[in-house]
Amino acid sequence: MGFFDKVKEQAEKAKEQAKDLRGKVEEKVDDVQHKRKADDLLDDLGRFLYAERTARPIAGADAEIDRIVNELKDLEQGGVPILPS
């Protein structure tokens, strides 16, 4: 095998490794974004609960709570941990 063949082979290996790394990074970014979304939804849900428990209900809260719970369920079904194990 000639020198240029070896260089070409190494370049192909590096290209494949870069693709693998890119895929792993994209997965990690998606995981972080989904976890952040879940945390934001839980914060919103907590505000509605606090308002209700302190006798200051927010108009339209029931519909918003249902929407938030459904989004959390979707995230959970997608593998995002919502509650501690």
Q: What is the pLDDT along the chain (85 residues), one digit of tens a residue?
A: 788 888 888 888 888 888 888 888 888 999 999 999 999 999 999 999 999 999 999 999 999 999 999 999 999 999 999 998 8
DSSP 1-50: --HHHHHHHHHHHHHHHHHHHHHHHHHHHHHHHHHHHHHHHHHHHHHHHH
Number of domains in the chain: 1
The pLDDT value recorded for residue 85 is: 80
Question: Per the domain annotation, does 6 fall within a domain?
Answer: no
Q: What is the pTM of this model?
A: 0.73
Write out the residue range of the structural domain in which residue 68 sits: 23-77
